[in-house]
Structure 1
Amino acid sequence: MSYPHDPNQPPNYGAAPGYGQQPYGAYAPGPEPDNNLVWAILTTVLCCLPLGIVAIVKSTSVSKLWAAGDFAGAQKAADDAKKWAMWGAIIGIVGSILIVVVYFVFAALIIGASATTSTY
């Protein structure tokens, strides 16, 4: 007798065929990659808003791609999220240091200029 489904399993009425299953021949190569969402959010809030937003968008797509069976795409999105978060943090830190240096240079120029001017 030919069964349309496994006779040891109850029939899956109402579910789409293949719902929740991996595509034929696809298997998860390991655990889902880290989406780096925490780093993306910290970069957005503390360092560099535009690059942090890109990192958040990339990191939120990791789980969606993994669930769809696009394991290579999920890994690439995770790597991209990490890259954008790192660049945002580096730019934010370097920018902050430059702002502090420029502030002290201008403060020194102003103090030096006011010390050499005569009030007579």
Structure 2
Amino acid sequence: MNTATPQVPNNLVWAILSTLFCCLPLGIVSIVHAAQVNGKLAAGDVAGARDASEKAKKWAMWSAITSIVLIVLYFIFILAVGGLGALSGTH
């Protein structure tokens, strides 16, 4: 009989990194889900632990994607405003 607890990654490192370096609100949601994984495993809720793990991973990924999109939009905005200044002759 196999009584070993299955290994379910909690993705806590990715959640923390995405919170610190990417999008704070989405990273916090990722941390909340990552923090639930070990508790659910300890309670024997393997399906719940896997679900929380996947959600933590998904929110960390969305945090990173959001950060990249915002940085790209920022640079597009800066280039657009800089280009408008050059066109108006005030630069």
So what's the TM-score if we normalise by structure 2?
A: 0.89
For 1:82, the aligned partner's letter is: K
Q: Which runs of 5+ in 2 are unaligned?
A: none
Partner of 1:82 in structure 2? 57
Supply the RMSD in Å over aligned alpha carbons.
1.9
Name whichever of 55-64 and 32-41 sits farther off.
32-41
Q: Which has the higher helix share?
A: 2
Larger Rg: 1
- Structure 1: 5+ residue stretches without partners: 1-26
Which among 10, 25, 31 is matched to residue 56 of structure 1?
A: 31
Deviation at 1:31, TM superposition (A): 3.0
Output the TM-score relative to the length of structure 1.
0.69
**Distance across 2 between alignment mates of 1:40 and 1:78:** 10
Superposed counterparts of 1:6-85, under 5 Å: 31-85=6-60
Cα distance in 2 for residues equivalent to 1:84 and 1:46: 14
